Amino acid sequence: MLGFKLPFSPLELLCLFFCLLTLSGITTGQDVVRKVVEVWSDVILPCSLSNKQDITEAVFDWKKEAQKDQRQKEVFFYDAATHYNNGRTGQSEEFKGRVSHFDDQLNHGNASIIIRNTKKTDSGNYTCVFLQLQIRQTFYIELVVVVTPKPVIWTLDATDVRSLLQCEVRGAFPQPEVEWQDSDGNELPAEEPHVSKRGGSYDITLKITVKKTDHYHCVVKQEDIKHRVTSETFVYISEKVCEDSSTEVMIGWSVFVFILGNVIFLEVKALLVLRKWIIKRRNNSLRQQGNGSDEENGPVQMEKCFM
C-alpha cells in the first residue's frame, strides 16, 4: 500500500455524486419544454411522472416565475383533491377561472394543466413541483403567447410612374418578420424596417416603392407557430407612361407652333394693313397736290384765250 488516503469515505462520495446529479437536473426533470401558442387560444402545460405513479393523494404546485417588476404567480395548487377550483385560496387573480387540471389522469401520474384564453401576459416560465414524492421533482415549461395583429397598408404617394406604400404593424409579440410580396408570392426589396418597442409589444413600419401594376401583399410572419397574417392592396401604374409623355410633348409643340403661327400671321396682316394705309395716305396727298396746281394754272390759260 502506498498510504494514500481519500479525502472522502465511499459513502460520502456516493452522497456527493447524488447531489451533483440532483443539481444537474438529471433526476429532477429540469429539461425545459417550450410551448408556443396564438393569443386567445387554449394551451396545455405538460407535467407527468415517467413512472405513471398515482398522484391522486399527492401534492403538486404550479407557479409562474417572477418577471420584471413582478412577483412569482400562483397558477394552480393541488393537495389530495383540494385545489384552487374547489375552495382553496391563494391563486393569483389573473389565473382565476382560466386554469384547470385533468382529474381523470391523476392516477396515471399526470399533473398537467390547461390555461384557457391565453393572454400575452401569460408568456413566461412556469414550474410544476411534486412536493411529497421520495425524490422531489420539478418540471420547467416556457410559454410564449404570440400576438400577430393584421397589418394596415397606406399609400403615401402615387404618380403615373410609381407608388410609395407603407405597411404598419402595431402591438405584435414577439417581434415578427414583416415583408412585402407581389401577387406571385415573391419577396420584394423594401426599405429598412422601423421597429419600436411599446409596453413589451413591437410596432413595425415597412415602406416600399413599386413601379408596376399588381396586387401587393404585406405579410406578418411568426415562424414559431408557422403563422402569418396578410393584407393586400392593388396598385395601378400606367403602362403607357412613355407614350403618354411623348404625346404630351407633341401636343405641347403643336400648341406652341399654332400660337406662333397665329402671332406671325397677325403681325404680317398688321404690316399689310399698315402698308396699305400708308400708300393710301400718300396717294391722297399727291392727289391733293395735283388739284392745287390745276387751280393755279386755270385763270392764266383763260387769260390767254381772251387775248
Domains located in the chain, CATH noted? 26-146 (2.60.40.10), 152-235 (2.60.40.10)
Distance of CA 130 to the CA centre of its chain: 44
Q: How confident is the model at residue 262 (pLDDT cuts 50, 70, 90)?
A: confident
Question: Around Cβ 180, how many Cβ atoms within 10 Å?
Answer: 21
Q: How confident is the model at residue 85 (pLDDT cuts 50, 70, 90)?
A: very high
Cut 0.75: pTM above it: no
User: By the 8 A CB rule, do 101 and 113 touch?
Assistant: yes
Tell me how far apart the alpha carbons of residues 95 and 170 are, in angstroms, rounded to a whole number.
26
Instruction: Give tens-digit pLDDT for 3-17.
Output: 545 455 554 544 444
Place of cell 385545489: 83
Mean pLDDT of 153-182: 95
Place of cell 426599405: 191
Beta-bridge partner residues of 146: 38
Question: Around Cβ 227, how many Cβ atoms within 10 Å?
Answer: 15
Instruction: Give tens-digit pLDDT for 193-244.
Output: 999 999 889 999 999 999 999 999 999 998 878 889 999 999 998 865 444 4
Distance of CA 290 to the CA centre of its chain: 99
Q: Which residues contact 155 (CB under 8 A, 6 or more apart)?
A: 163, 164, 165, 166, 233, 235
Q: Helix H segments across the chain? A: 10-24, 241-306
Instruction: Give tens-digit pLDDT for 183-197.
Output: 999 999 999 999 999
8-12, 18-22, 65-69, 132-136: segment of lowest average pLDDT: 18-22
Place of cell 415549461: 141
Q: Which residues contact 185 (CB under 8 A, 6 or more apart)?
A: 217
User: How many Cα neighbours within 13 Å face the side chain of 265?
Assistant: 6
Strand order in the sheet with 152-158: 152-158, 163-172, 201-210, 194-198
Tell me how far apart the alpha carbons of residues 98 and 76 are, in angstroms, rounded to a whole number.
10
Place of cell 460520502: 12
Q: How confident is the model at residue 257 (pLDDT cuts 50, 70, 90)?
A: confident
| Reduced DSSP (H G I as helix, E B as strand, rest coil) percent helix, strand, coil of the chain, to 5 | 30, 35, 30
Instruction: Give tens-digit pLDDT for 31-79.
Output: 899 999 999 999 999 999 989 999 999 999 999 999 877 789 999 999 9
User: By the 8 A CB rule, do 138 and 29 touch?
Assistant: yes
